[in-house]
Amino acid sequence: MRTKNILSSFIAMAIVAGFVGCNNDNDSSGTGQLVVKMTDAPFPSDLVSEANVTVTKIEARQKGGDSESAFITIMEDEVSANLLDLTNGVTENLADVEIPEGTYDLIRVYVADATVVLSDGTTFDLKVPSGSSSGIKIFVKPGIEVAGGLTAELLLDFDVASSFVAKGSTSSPSGITGFNFKPVIKASNQSFAGRLVGAVTTEVEGETETEIVAVGGATVSIYAADTLNTTALTAEDGTYTVLGLQAGLYDVTVEAGGFAATTSDGVEIVAANATTQDFVLNQE
């Protein structure tokens, strides 16, 4: 039987690079546009109500460059966000700048502060290991290409559960004594990735007919070759969105309290497209 960590959650920073300055003849000005956004998949609100980070700078490295001169600053403004507000495909714009054409294979994210607020109001200020000085390095494979007339998108998945490691007992907020902040981020080139969307419902017998009722707070787990890739929680209306899935086949399992788990095998994700997969849960 598959198991999962109920604290599994991901922050996604969507970096969109689109070429600008083209005329009708596709002439190039030698620069492209880089738009940086941030989003997050859900984190369990019964334990944690806020997971805040302050990003002060983002840099991108052109492929083949090893020196500091190969890095380009694409954002240098202090931006603070509660990552738990950014769920189910919601993004926050971080930067919109022109950059030279080329392929970029490394992103550096500078994080100055990180805090966690528990559901009982307890706040923990966390020590950032090196993210404020040397930056958190995220390799992009395959690299993201900025080219004339094209748009590329890069998704950075910030694994909250692995990055915010609780100390003490996680059975209740009162048992948590602090957190270690160890940023874990993976990159997904959206040119080769798609997204999964859908709704989770159940059937309820009414007085005269069967009613379709949304199931909010259900856990949607996406597996690749029996390995958990990522998770999401459904919104109050039962809908969910999972970003940054590489093209391929996945098994998707949905679980919710009081319902029997259900799995759809071989769900195909197509690059640069949305795949819709709905689920109907049966009460136990």
* pLDDT beyond 90 at 122: yes
For residue 24, give Cα distances in angstroms to 30, 149, 246.
Answer: 16, 10, 33
Which DSSP letter does residue 283 get? B
Closest-CA residue to 41 (of 2, 7, 69, 9): 9
What residue type is assigned to position 234 of the chain? T
Per-residue pLDDT band at 150 (split at 50, 70, 90) = low
Percentage with pLDDT > 90 across the chain: 34
Helix, strand, or coil (residue 190): helix
DSSP annotation string for 150-185: -EEEEEEEEEHHHHEEEEE--SSGGGEEEEEE---E
Per-residue pLDDT band at 100 (split at 50, 70, 90) = confident
Greater pLDDT, 198 or 3 = 198
Beta bridge partners of 231: 221
* pLDDT beyond 80 at 140: yes
Instruction: Provide the pLDDT for residue 7.
Output: 33
Instruction: Provide the pLDDT for residue 189.
Output: 79
Per-residue pLDDT band at 71 (split at 50, 70, 90) = very high
CA distance 103 to 284: 51
Closest-CA residue to 199 (of 88, 122, 103): 88
* pLDDT beyond 60 at 182: yes
Per-residue pLDDT band at 149 (split at 50, 70, 90) = low
For residue 121, give Cα distances in angstroms to 52, 83, 90, 118.
Answer: 14, 17, 25, 5
Instruction: Name the range with the highest mean pLDDT among 44-58, 89-103, 138-152, 206-220.
Output: 206-220
Greater pLDDT, 266 or 77 = 266
Greater pLDDT, 26 or 66 = 66
Instruction: Provide the pLDDT for residue 38.
Output: 58
CA distance 144 to 19: 12
199-215 mean pLDDT? 93
Helix, strand, or coil (residue 134): coil
Instruction: Provide the pLDDT for residue 74.
Output: 87
CA distance 182 to 163: 5
CA distance 55 to 75: 9
CA distance 264 to 280: 11
95: alpha, beta or left? (left if phi > 0; alpha if psi -120 to 50): beta
CA distance 187 to 14: 10
Instruction: Name the range with the highest mean pLDDT among 61-75, 99-113, 257-271.
Output: 257-271
DSSP annotation string for 270-281: -TTSEEE--EEE
For residue 34, give Cα distances in angstroms to 50, 77, 89, 181.
Answer: 28, 15, 19, 28
CA distance 29 to 100: 9
* pLDDT beyond 50 at 4: no
Instruction: Provide the pLDDT for residue 178.
Output: 92
153-181 mean pLDDT? 81
Per-residue pLDDT band at 8 (split at 50, 70, 90) = very low
Question: Taking all residues of the chain, what is their mean pLDDT, rounded to a whole number?
Answer: 81
Other Cβ atoms less than 10 A from the Cβ of 257: the count is 9
Instruction: Provide the pLDDT for residue 206.
Output: 82
Per CATH, the homologous superfamily of domain 193-281 is Immunoglobulins (2.60.40.10)
